[in-house]
Structure formats: structure tokens, C-alpha cells
Chain A
Amino acid sequence: DAGITQSPRYKITETGRQVTLMCHQTWSHSYMFWYRQDLGHGLRLIYYSAAADITDKGEVPDGYVVSRSKTENFPLTLESATRSQTSVYFCASRLDTDTQYFGPGTRLTVL
């Protein structure tokens, strides 16, 4: 199916472990984004990518790593998970036009 998918949808991990959240889009959109959503903070941008092999930091990048070797994939890695990274993570994509399209989200719990 066309669209933007995220996996896993739910993840529980322990402090210090590495975790990778996957994002895949079928539209060949040039821009892709990772946000985290926390109560009281709304959506905060972690990283974004303007094209394959081009990534840049957003508002809250510390503790996260991204890569974009293919246009359709934009994985987000937590190198050493901390409790403060417990959140709901959303991937989004867009063409050069301005509308963003969001994935269904990954709920991550760090114990």
C-alpha cells in the first residue's frame, strides 16, 4: 500500500540499549522528518532530511542518530536509550510542496 509506515508500532526497551525505529514511504518524497510527541511539548523536530544522504539536526537531536541511504527509508537510532526518550515518535514526509504526511507513530518506553 502507498503511504508512510513506521515499525515497530510499540517498543519497550531498557536504559542503555540501542534501538532503531524504522520509517518507510512509498511516494518518493524528498523531505523526511522525525518528531517526538510529549505531553506539554507538542511535536518537536529531532532530525530531518532534504534528500538521500542529506540530513540535519532539528530542535532536539541529542541522543539520536539518523541515516538516509535510500530516498524511501529514514531510520532513527537511539544509541543508548534513556528514560527521557520515552515518547511517541512520528515520521513524516513531504514533497517540495508544503503539506506534510505523517506515519502512525511508534510508542517507545524506556525502562
Chain B
Amino acid sequence: GDSVTQMEGPVTLSEEAFLTINCTYTATGYPSLFWYVQYPGEGLQLLLKATKADDKGSNKGFEATYRKETTSFHLEKGSVQVSDSAVYFCAQTTSGTYKYIFGTGTRLKVLA
């Protein structure tokens, strides 16, 4: 069945370090891909998305490229800040379905 796999955390980085959080997916159709972020005590917020192969989603310095050939959607940021500390979820959905499949989340901790 369809699934999303993301790297286990926690990921601990120093401020201004480069961030990569890996996400791969399996899908029978052509999914849209998402990264959501969850700050402590809050709900999930959409960070970025991509709806077709080779699309790049970007927001707040974060980027992810929809790679069909490697079925991946890795999240990157060139210079993380303490305020980026949160849990990041990769997700997919296929147009015409209700189903939204989430990864298990990756906790990021950025140290000053």
C-alpha cells in the first residue's frame, strides 16, 4: 500500500547548520507531497508542498524537491535557527482520495 517513510529523530543541530530530513514514499498513483511542521503545543501547519514531479516547494528558507525517480521529498534548509525547533512531518495524498498518509515525524532540536 501507499506509505511515507522519514528519518527517525531526534536531529540535533547547532544554529546556522545545514539541515536535511529525508522522506521517501511509495504510491500507486501520482501523489502530492507535503511537509508539515508542528511547534510545541500546537497543531500541524503546512510548511511547503509539491504537486508533480520536479516541482520544488519552498517556504521560510526550507525547500524540498519532488523526485519521482527516487520517490523522495527531502526537506532542506541552509541555515537553521533555534526557532526552527519542532517536529516535521512528511505526507502524501492522491487527488480524488480522502486519504492523507503521514510519516511518523522527525523531531528537530536546534541549539544556540
- Chain A interface (Cβ within 8 Å of chain B)? 31, 33, 40-43, 45, 48, 50, 56, 90, 92, 98-105
Chain B residue at smallest Cβ distance from A100: B100
**A interface, by DSSP: helix, strand, loop or mixed?**
strand
Which residues of B, 16-71, contact A by the 8 Å Cβ criterion?
Answer: 32, 34, 36, 41-46, 49, 51
Partner of A98, one of B42, B51, B89, B104: B51
Q: Do the beta carbons of B98 and A42 come within 8 Å of each other?
A: no
Q: Do the beta carbons of B46 and A99 come within 8 Å of each other?
A: yes
Q: Do the beta carbons of A43 and B102 come within 8 Å of each other?
A: yes
Q: Do the beta carbons of A42 and B89 come within 8 Å of each other?
A: yes
B3 CB to nearest chain A CB (Å): 11
Q: Do the beta carbons of B102 and A42 come within 8 Å of each other?
A: yes
